[in-house]
Amino acid sequence: MDFGQLKSKRRTLSSAFNVNPEIKKSVNLDGVNGFHSFYKMPPSGSITLQQFEYYALERLKVLKAIELNNVLKGKKFKEYCDEMRDEFRNLGWQFLCTDRLSKEDEEKDLVSHHILRLAYAKSEGKRQWFITQETELLKLRMMFSNSLLNRLLEVNQLSSNQVPAEEINELTDELRGCQTGFNMANAVYYKVDFEEVLQLVSSRKVYLSQGYAYLPASELQSFVLNKYKIHLKEQLAMACKLMPGLEEENRIMRQLKALSGGDLGTGYTTKAVGDKITCDMLDQLSLRSYPLCMQTLHNHIKVKHHAKHEGRMQYGLFLKGMGVSLEESLKYWRTQFCKGGIDTEKFDKTYAYNVRHNYGKEGKRADYSPFSCLKIISSSEPKGDECHGCPYKHSDELSLRHLLEKRKISAEATEEILGLKRQGHYQVACMSLFKATHPKEGLHGGLQHPNQYFEESQTILSGNSETSDSKMTADSSEKETAGKSNDNKENIQDIEDEFDDEM
């Protein structure tokens, strides 16, 4: 991928990064590229498509970790910062804890930011999510480095309107009224447009005069973060307008769409947990280790002895991910459907092909992966007798409460989960259920996949809570990363194209 060219397929991508060509003339690149200058300069040079996706997926994991910890933090800010510092180190992004980056880390930081900026530019909701997480990341970086705030002010020319001491002296009474513990001897203020610090204006923390806010030095961080938000909002809006020019870049567009879906579960790999899983074991396993979405599907099929296409897809691939063999899967579906009045011959003609196809034994013989949480959350809302989807998103509050009561968790845990549903934190709600049903353990690093839920549950129940035999991974290998995410997206579409809901 050549960021420097301006024509051909490669050029279109470069022009989308270069949303403000005038910046090249005004920003000195010596040591201030990347986050110091709010990523104003787009990347230049070339990277491979493998690097393109690898960088983006790695940064997406960082932003997801920030989102998760923000939802769950409920703790002192210092403790939160310490946990995030450890999280960045565990993810291999320890350079986020300093403002002095190596050339390699600077490239990784710059390129990954601009790729995700493109990926999240297309809708208002995604733009807002990206801005929120990136702003929180910059806030953390300022907390980790005492010198970064001054560096950001200098590079972005934000500190040029310092209020002279004489003017501060004239406004002593007014300034004292807006700031607790005002000390004239140490007073340092900056004059900024009041619209740039509306939050401080609304809380009456700044003095206003002739359209300007007198900003104490202690509030400079809020000012910088707000400037960064405004900058990102403008750049994302401009990138959105340029996105139609990327439509010809089919492979790149698939990558960007996959990234904006946040689908960190596309690289899911599995091995059987413990002994071979047979269809006779599913009832017990569903009670002990299924996430709520799969338990709901299992119970629906057990009662109705049928499931619509979307439900069969979601549950069938989950069974495959558990380690259920093709033979056992066919046995399970045949048994259930025959109990519902479908004879063996009709099942073999109408439904068995679908099961074999999921296992890569029919059609294109592709190895289809189980659906990730975000794939399920973003699926169509179930209607009528359909049973697919995510209960935390697609069920109403009363129905979800009923499902949770069946799991026999505490009233406190139930209310916590319902609260998370109301806030739209569906995966965090699922994590809370896991914690409620596995009191001594929790899901470490977030929940991205139903099979991850199942396998970590089985690992805990088997008495080995350190490392499960099977893990959901967003591949760190550049070679693997390039293929798996794209192939999986195409594979899912292949299945959906090949089978209709009436099959």
Q: List, as residue ranges, the binding site for [4Fe-4S] cluster.
A: 293, 373, 390, 430
Binding-site positions? 293, 373, 390, 430
For residue 428, the one-letter residue type is V
The token duo for 457 is 């549950």
Closest CA to 112 of 85, 133, 83: 133
Residue 58: Cβ within 10 Å count: 17
| Cβ proximity of 409 and 435 under 8 Å | no
Helix (H) or strand (E) holding 221: helix 220-242
63 class by beta-carbon count within 10 Å (0-12 exposed, 13-18 middle, 19+ buried): buried
469 class by beta-carbon count within 10 Å (0-12 exposed, 13-18 middle, 19+ buried): middle
The token duo for 167 is 């003017």
Q: What is the CA radius of gyration of the chain?
A: 26
| Cα–Cα dist 385/90, whole Å | 44
SS3 163: coil
| Cα–Cα dist 28/10, whole Å | 26
